[in-house]
Amino acid sequence: MIEYIVSQEYARKVVTEESSFSFERGMEEILGIHWMRHIHGGTFFRDVDSIVGELSTKKLRTIAKETWPVFELGVSELLDTVQDEKPIDILQHVKRIMAQATICILLGPTYQNDEDVNRILNISADVAELMGLRRHESRMARKFPRLWRTLTLTKMVLIRLPLDIGPVFARRLWADISSREKRRDPEDETIFSHLVDRYASTSGSVSFLSKLWITILILTVIFGSVHQTAVIIVWVTYFLALHPDCQKSLRDEAESLVRSGMSGSGSEYKALQNAILADSFVREVLRMKGDAVNAVRVAVRDVELAGHRIPKGTPVFPVTYLSNRSPDLISNPDKFDAERWIGTGKSATTTGQDYLAFGLGRWSCPGRFLAVMEIKAWILALVRQADFELHGGRYKVVDAYNITAVPPQGYLLMKRRAGY
């Protein structure tokens, strides 16, 4: 199939003109899940988008209070594993912290145990493979993509996911969904309660198929919360390791925020909002990390673009790199400037043609507000407790085509700071 890539001049048109270009068809194409449009009326992407957006808006203030201790403890436990002068790969540690935070936010206290954390990690890894995020590791995927996709789909849906979810965990999820159907608690802010309220009939009951759909949505949101945020955290940490001056200034910001009453006081949300240097740093890393493409659309009709006719059904990829590094949109765009965005009114969550990290328009990432808050919590907890540098002064880009969802490979040299 022919694919089109477009420069920054046409990026906004492609990602925002829904009458010509479809986000949903684009995601089905790139992930190889065309069959998803035949399930539940083809509402999968719309449902995930609205659910994540609603939960983030509803819980953002309380989430900060709930998760700040998770990141503080997670960094401390990471440092406990560090051996003198031995480089460490932080990816699995970061994923574990994100699994703990995700359970805290979405599932509630009955799931806050090591067994369920491990299960969430396995499910997240399975969904990542199902979505093709490990195709760069497979020679078959490069030479015989259709065969690889069919075999992967079969393996993950029929074998790996059922095994990793397991009958006990599946029954618990089902029981938690069913219990909310019978007893509504206005104080219950778990994803179970939110989705039961959303999909209950006028009589208050939830059908078998709706319960099954709720389960699919829960697993999808868990994957996004764990995998995608962990990938960004690794990128941010490696950039921070390469900029020790930023570690010092961010540490000063972190200590100032903690002294103002951050830990355990209920003011964590406000403190993270006031972490303006951390916010600017995150935005600059996401702009500079080098995404080739992170958005795709499929033409829903024949479209004329820059004098070229793009046939209906054709995938179109805006080149994110060109927008993020455009001298027409950003001054000195190839320079990394951690303080570039301070005082500009543009936060790490503010989308725009010069910053496509979270997309643009109707389909901008709905979870970006939560993700950025978690990333900032990680940064502040990390710089307070540790000094660190990148082993060898470099990292390796594993999949240059999919920097958005595949983390770089590297190792940190870490040391616990005095007093921690």
Enter the pTM of the model: 0.94
* pLDDT in the model for residue 262: 67
* SS3 category, 303: strand
* pLDDT in the model for residue 263: 56
Q: Which residue has the tokens 């500009």?
A: 344
Cα–Cα distance for residue pair 268/159, rounded to 1 Å: 42
* pLDDT in the model for residue 265: 57
* pLDDT in the model for residue 266: 63
pLDDT < 50 stretches in the chain: none
Counting beta carbons within 10 angstroms of the beta carbon of residue 309, is it exposed (0 to 12), middle (13 to 18) or buried (19 or more)? exposed
* SS3 category, 249: helix
Cα–Cα distance for residue pair 190/197, rounded to 1 Å: 11
Query: Residue 115 corresponds to which tokens in the numbers above?
Result: 């067994």
User: Residues 122-164: pLDDT tens digits?
Assistant: 999 999 998 888 888 888 988 898 899 889 989 999 999 999 9
Query: Residue 244 corresponds to which tokens in the numbers above?
Result: 């020790």
Contact between 319 and 5 (Cβ < 8 Å):
yes
Q: Give the start-to-end residue ranges of the domains of the chain.
A: 4-415
CA 246 to each of CA 147, 241, 243, 395, 410: distance values in angstroms, whole numbers, following the listed order: 47, 9, 5, 18, 19
User: Residues 66-106: pLDDT tens digits?
Assistant: 899 999 999 999 999 998 889 999 999 999 999 999 999 99
**Residues paired with residue 352 on neighbouring β-strands, in sequence order:** 355
If phi > 0 it is left, if psi is from -120 to 50 it is alpha, else beta; for residue 225 that is alpha
Query: Residue 217 corresponds to which tokens in the numbers above?
Result: 């949505």
CATH of domain 4-415: 1.10.630.10
* pLDDT in the model for residue 264: 53
Residue 386 CB neighbours (<10 A): 20
DSSP 132-191: TTTGGG-HHHHH-HHHHHHHHHHHIIIIIHHHHHHHHHHHHHHHHHHHHHH---TT--SH
What is the CA angle 239-285-5, rounded to 5?
125
